[in-house]
Structures are given as structure tokens and as C-alpha cells.
Amino acid sequence: MSLPEKIEVSADRKYPVYLGAALEDLGGYIHSLPDKVEQILVISHKKVADLYLERLMTGLGDYTVDLMIVPAGEEEKSLDRLSRLTTDALGFGADRKTLVIALGGGVIGDLAGFFASVYMRGIRLIQVPTTLLAQVDSSIGGKVAVNHPAGKNILGAFHPPVAVWTDFRTLDSLPWIEVENGLAESIKHALITDSDFFSFFETQADSIKRRDPVIWREMVARSASIKVRVVSQDEREQGIRRLLNLGHSFGHALETEMNYRGVTHGQGVSIGIVAAAFLANAKGLITLNEVERIKQVLRCYDLPTSISRQDPHALLQRMETDKKNQGGRKILILPQGIGNAVVSKECKDEEILDAWQKVILEDN
Ligand SMILES: NC(=O)c1ccc[n+]([C@@H]2O[C@H](COP(=O)([O-])OP(=O)(O)OC[C@H]3O[C@@H](n4cnc5c(N)ncnc54)[C@H](O)[C@@H]3O)[C@@H](O)[C@H]2O)c1
């Protein structure tokens, strides 16, 4: 068995991200923590627990472990679910020494993380991400949240984990549609920071689609390292972390306009990246050739680069309520060539409309 690679998030509080770790070894790591753990709550989905709890439990034999199963779905990131978790945790006798393990994708990570951030004013958390999106993105950076009827992630906190424990083998069971959500974020990481990594996505498409384990290992490790680097520089999203929102203002507008039906988050981000690239081209930040390269790489992974039957004006309207806007001005992240991105506060509505039009297909 190869040893996991350890990289450190050096934010307000440092914490390690273990890449290529084995679920079976997590118990040994918990034993080594300086503050004794007396009880563990594992929060997961049934499907994920059925697949991976047994392996996780191999190392946790010395602890009292209670399992809390949450139904799958974004709607479970709710105050109602938080309240139920609290009732269950109290029933299990969880106290301030209890450790929460979030075993799952971004939904579990955000929900279990938010629960850990508020239960008895905050208890320890270990993120054990099992989706590509969670391994390269959501488990790293300390953001945790639940949704409110008024919007996604409206109630949240920064609650950095004790550690992120990433077992690449959990990705073997991930359906391709979920892989796509993570790929959209990984390609975005490459586009905003690393042209060489962008070329990796261009040249390794066959291996990635075949799920070649060596190439996947490299892809997840490089992408997670980018997230670690960015949040280490700017944990609270005052500067460089904002670049991670590339494609999300457009994508989120599309997701909400379509009522979260017929477009996944990854697909929304993919189309959003292309719209942002067209806008960047109009501003002279990127060539049409580079826009074409971006479209091409997304298409390689079956990610969409356009959408039909949408009203650009309605989509522009949706962007009015973006959390990132400041003083009524839309703040957009635009690629600058391949491997770089900038924050733009100077995008006029006509330019944004134009970018939307370029990704909306005319119906015959
Ligand atoms: N906190 C952050 O910084 C951050 C960043 C990006 C996204 N997010 C959040 O992440 C969430 C999306 O996360 P996601 O894309 O991981 O979706 P998800 O957590 O809903 O997981 C998708 C599906 O995959 C299943 N699954 C998980 N692991 C599996 C495995 N190994 N094998 C088979 N099936 C598995 C889950 O049960 C679920 O049905 C959103 O709520 C989003 O807001 C948070």
C-alpha cells in the first residue's frame, strides 16, 4: 500500500489534506490526534455508507461510533435536517469531545460540516470526500453551509476540518454524471491557474474517460493542490479565492432559471465557463482560438457548451441577485488567456447579454 501524500492548508488554522489515503487507516490517524476523541458521529448517505462504512470501521474499532444517515439530495442541506441531526446527536450523548466524520460528497460535507460548526458551539470535523467534486473542491477550504428557501448556502460558516482524508478508490463507484460535476470544477481550476494542467485535460481525455487509476490520481491530486494553494492564500474569499467562482455566476443563473431541472451543476458551470470566455474575448482578455480550446476540452468530457430555449434577458435578470455583486455592480470572473483569470467589475449588461447569446442555440 502506498503512503498518502500530505499537503497542508496554511490558513488561520493549519490542517492537512491526505491524498490517496485508505479509509481503513483513518482510525490510526484519529488515535494520533493530540486531543483525545471519545466518540465519533459518522454522517453519510445510505448508498455511500453501504459501500464504504465497513472499510472505515476497520480502523475505528476502539471508538463508540454512531451513524447518522441522511437521505440524498441538495434539499437535505436544510435547517430542518440540521435540527434532526441535533436531536439524534443529543440522543447518542454527543458532547464537545465528539468528532464528526463527513463521509460523502459535497452535500454531506456541507451539511455535516455546518452541523459540526454549530453543535455545542463547534465540534471537530474530518472530511472524508467520496465524490470527485468533494475531493478536488468542496472538502477543502472550510466553507460549510445549509440552504434557505431564499437561496443556496445562505446559512453558513467557516469551519475548517481537523483533516481531509481522501481515498481515491471511493471514486470507482461514482456514476459518470457525478464525475462530470467534479470535472467541470477541475477544468476550471486548470483554466484559472495552470495552463500545463489545462493541457493535461486536453491530452489525457481518453485515459480520464477510461478512469485510468494513475491518471485519475494525478488529476485529483493536482486539482486538490490548486484548491489548497488558493484557500491558503485567501481563506475568507477577499481576493484570489474569488477566482474559483469562474463560470458560476452564469451557471447559477442558468440553474435557477431552469429551476434546477434539465441542467446539473457541472453542466451549468461548463456553459458558464464558455459564456465567461466569450465575455473575456469581447474585452480582449482571451483570443477566439483560446475560447475554442476551452469549448473543445469541455466537449471532450461530454460537458455542454451551449443551451437551447433560454431567454438571455431573463438570465441577465437572474444575475442581479448574485451574492458576489457589490453596490449593484456585477462582479464577474473572466479567464485571461489559459491558466489565468481576473476579477472584472466593469462588465456592462449589454456585454453580458451578448455573451449569453453566444451560448444560447437558436431553435429551428
Ligand atoms: N463547501 C464548498 O466549498 C463547496 C464547493 C463546491 C460545492 N459545494 C456543494 O457541494 C454540493 C454538491 O456536491 P456533490 O457534487 O458531491 O454532490 P452530492 O454530495 O449530492 O453527491 C452526489 C451523489 O453521489 C452519491 N455518492 C457520493 N459518493 C459516492 C460514491 N463514492 N459512489 C457512488 N455514489 C456516491 C451521493 O450519495 C449523491 O447521491 C452542493 O451542495 C454544493 O453547494 C460546496
Examine the residue annotation and report whether 189 is marked as an active-site residue of this protein: no
CA of 130 to the centre of ligand 1 (A): 8
Q: What is the pLDDT of residues 304-355, one digit of tens each?
A: 999 998 999 999 999 987 777 777 788 999 999 999 999 998 899 999 999 9
Q: Which residue among 53, 56, 107, 323 is best mutated to probe the pocket of ligand 1, counting the most ligand atoms within 8 A of its Cβ?
A: 107
- Residue in the structure block whose three cell numbers are 469541455: 298
The predicted model gives 280-288 an average pLDDT of: 97
pLDDT value of position 3: 73
Question: Is 178 annotated as catalytic?
Answer: no
Q: Is the CB of 139 under 6 A from ligand 1?
A: no
- The pLDDT tens digits of the residues spanning 117-173 come to 999 999 999 999 999 999 999 999 999 999 988 788 889 999 999 999 999 999 999
Model confidence over 54-104: pLDDT tens digits? Answer: 999 999 999 999 999 999 999 999 999 999 999 999 999 999 999 999 999
Vertex 190: Cα angle to 175 and 226 (nearest 5)? 90
DSSP code string of 289-352? HHHHHHHHHHHHTT--S-EES--HHHHHHHGGG-TT-BTTBPPEEEE-SSS-EEEES---HHHH
Report whether 127 contacts 164 (CB < 8 A): yes
Please choose, from the candidates 296, 279, 295, the residue with its C-alpha nearest in 3D space to the C-alpha of residue 335. Answer: 279
pLDDT at 1: 52
Length of the chain, please?
Answer: 364
Spatial neighbors of 241 by CB under 8 A, at least 6 apart, are 141, 230, 231, 233, 234, 235
Among the listed residues 77, 159, 188, 248, the single catalytic one is 248
Tell whether ligand 1 has an atom less than 6 A from the beta carbon of residue 135: no
CA 152 to ligand 1: nearest atom: 43
Please provide the average confidence, as pLDDT, over all residues in the chain. Answer: 95
Handedness of CA 225, 229, 234, 235 (dihedral sign): positive
Q: Residue 17 in 3-state DSSP?
A: strand
Which residue in the block uniquely carries the three cell numbers 449569453? 356
Q: Which domains does the chain have, with CATH numbers?
A: 5-173 (3.40.50.1970), 176-361 (1.20.1090.10)
Give the pLDDT of residue 151: 80
What is the pLDDT at residue 363?
66
Q: How distant, in Å, are the alpha carbons of 94, 114, 188, 223 from that of 196?
A: 47, 35, 13, 12
Ligand 1 pocket test: pick from 45, 152, 188 the residue with the most ligand atoms within 8 Å of its Cβ: 45
Does residue 12 carry a pLDDT above 90? no
Is the pLDDT score of 221 beyond 90? yes
pLDDT of residue 209: 97
Q: What percent of the chain stands above pLDDT 70?
A: 99
Beta pairing class for 163-166 and 143-148 = unpaired
Q: Closest Cα to residue 188, out of 124, 99, 109, 249? A: 249
Ligand 1 near 255 CB (within 6 A): no
Q: Is residue 241 annotated as part of the catalytic site, yes or no?
A: yes
For the Cβ of 143 lying below 6 angstroms from any atom of ligand 1, the answer is yes
d(CA 164, CA 135): 9
252 is catalytic: yes
Q: Please classify residue 260 by burial: count the beta carbons closer than 10 Å to its beta carbon, then call 0-12 exposed, 13-18 middle and 19+ buried.
A: middle
pLDDT of residue 320: 85
* Minimum-distance ligand 1 atom for the alpha carbon of 266: 15
Say if CB 44 and CB 53 are below 8 A apart.
yes
